Amino acid sequence: MNNQNNKSANAAEKETPISSDLEHNLKLIAEELGTEPDIVVRELHLFASTRAAVLSIAGLTDTAAVNFLVRSMLADQPDGSNALAEGDPFQTLLYRTLATGSVRKLEFMDGIYCAMLEGLTVILLDGCNQAIAANTHGGEKRGVEEPSTQTVVRGPKEGFAESIMTNIALVRNKIKSTNLRVEYKIIGRETRTTVAIAYMKGIAANSVVQEIHRRLDDIDTDSILESGYIEEFLLDKTYTPFPLIQNSERPDAIAASLLEGQVAILVDGTPFVLLAPVTFVKFFQSSEDYYQSYDIATFLRLIRFVSFFVSMLLPALYIAITTFHQEMLPTPLLISIAAQREGVPFPAIIEALLMEITFEILREAGVRMPRIIGPAISIVGALVLGQSAVQAGLVSAAMVIVVSFTAIATFVIPSVNMGTSARLIRFTMMILGGTFGVFGIMAGLMILLTHLSGLRSFGIPYLTPISPLVKGNLKDVFVRVPWWAMNKRPGLYKIPGSRRQGTPKRNSDRGDRSGGQEGGRE
């Protein structure tokens, strides 16, 4: 914090106060921002002895709002004797004339530059050493659309946009509570990006909120263009393949996490919102789990956990068993695999690495390719290349099946970050399996488990509530119990108030009451 205070003090010393000479102020603005066509300067005569200038940047402001602002200044009195002549021009303009919802006073030239670059309209008066910044935010922005990376069959179809104000409004639309707190920061010396911290007062732990504030204040960089820029600055431990901060582009997921005690970090210019602290099991939970029956949600969640281990271990197990532990396979299957590998010139480890690297190249090409030819590339890669490799004798058909099923299992994981972690670990496990067999895989899993046990996200153990074991929080880990049974918030984030609903009324009680009423009617 001392560093931050020193930077603020040095910046304050360099600030230039606004001059009472309008021409001098316009000259300073032209020197600082240039005279590009998008810098719009509209000079006005409010009455006989007062000149004014309205400054804005085209593309960052709403043209209709700026024009309406100018009309409100000129149309105060139809006879030409503007009402500004009745008293102090600046005060009358600030408190009476301007027809806009938000205005603020500026005293330094740096404030003028920042206001214009934020999309505000600045008004300068000749003979006055203050300026007015009026809210005229606008410009071309993408609207609220369906999320592209976190789609659901049942649930809201709205996703975050690039505007931070739009994103905050989407969250407030979900949580209409006075306990929702949103605090703003400006990060980035050159980009001056707006960053917002959202949390629920009385639910989120104060220690976590203060720690996030401290880590954000310690960031000293020239640019923040996406939430990923600040994510690595906030991590407890940098050298790990596992994500320690969650991200989402779904307002309903962010609202649900806030109500459980997590803290959201919104960055202007990106639709991805960060969530902290986070645990390992959170990456396997989907918003759709809470919109459908608990038994179906439990089944799907177990499939996700199984798919995670399949995507991480299946190629390694295939390599280890076919290379060192053939006795583990049934005899007919062993004979079939041996017949397929009869003409393959490479050992299983080389064969698997070639197929995995090929698939990773195809996956990256599919992301970068134009959408029109993307499906064609997928067909060529999946069918033509795979079939040709088998017919040419470079790989076996069993290896193609293993690699394909592993790739499909990766896409089952709801979080892209966790799926990427499984892909990275997969290559290490393949090398261990090809070198030491199943014993190497088990050793790698033990090292991985030890690493996971030592990870923390803002002080919260990464494997909570499994390790350390918190029995009361197991209702929403591997299984999702009915809503009436989750009457307390998960105590993962040191929540002061844990109860979120009243005493549950079970279906059996409702059935008894309804049965009695029906009997009475009969």
pLDDT tens, residue by residue, 80-118 = 444 444 567 788 787 777 877 788 889 889 889 888 888
What are the DSSP E strand ranges found in 257-373?
263-267, 273-276
Asked if 404 and 255 sit in the same domain, the reply is no
Q: Do 172 and 234 belong to one domain?
A: yes
Considering the domain architecture, whether residues 455 and 358 belong to the same structural domain is answered as yes
Residues 334 and 455 in one domain: yes
The SS3 assignment for 461 reads: strand
Residues 249 and 379 placed together within one structural domain of the fold: no
**Beta partners for 44?**
52
pLDDT band at 9 (very low <50, low <70, confident <90, very high): very low
**Same-domain check for residues 220 and 308:** no
In a domain, 258, yes or no: yes
pLDDT of residue 284: 93
Global pTM?
Answer: 0.82
What is the predicted pLDDT for the residue at 65?
Answer: 85
Is 427 inside a domain boundary? yes
260 part of a folded domain: yes
Pick from 74, 140, 131: nearest CA to 106: 131
Least confident range from 80-94, 144-158, 380-394, 415-429: namely: 80-94
Residue 290 lies in a domain: no
Query: Are 207 and 68 in a shared domain?
Result: no
DSSP one-letter code for 18 = P
Under DSSP, the state recorded for 137 is B
Domain identity same for 365 and 250: no
Give the mean pLDDT of the chain: 83
Q: Are residues 87 and 217 in the same domain?
A: no
DSSP annotation of 280 reads G
506 pLDDT more than 60: no
Tell me: pLDDT of 510 over 60: no
Mean pLDDT of the region 278-294 = 91
Give yes or no for a contact between 271 and 159, defined as CB atoms under 8 angstroms apart: yes
9 occurs within a structural domain: no
Answer whether residue 510 is part of any domain: no
The reply to whether 448 and 306 lie within a common domain is: yes
Looking at the structure, do residues 235 and 312 belong to the same domain, yes or no? no
Q: Show the domain range for 271.
A: 164-278
Whether the Cβ atoms of residue 522 and residue 516 lie closer than 8 Å to each other: no
Please state, in angstroms and rounded to a whole number, the distance separating the CA atoms of residues 486 and 508.
17
pLDDT value at residue 520: 36
Domain total of the chain: 3
**Confidence at residue 516, expressed as pLDDT on a 0 to 100 scale:** 41
Residues 229-248 pLDDT 10s: 898 889 887 788 999 999 99
Residue 123 lies in a domain: yes
pLDDT, residue 437, reads 92
Q: Is 209 contained in some domain? A: yes
**443-448 mean pLDDT:** 95
| pLDDT bucket at 473, cuts 50 / 70 / 90 | confident
Whether residue 256 is found in the same domain as residue 338 = no
Predicted confidence (pLDDT) at residue 515 exceeds the cutoff of 70: no
Domain-terminating residue out of 435, 461, 487: 461
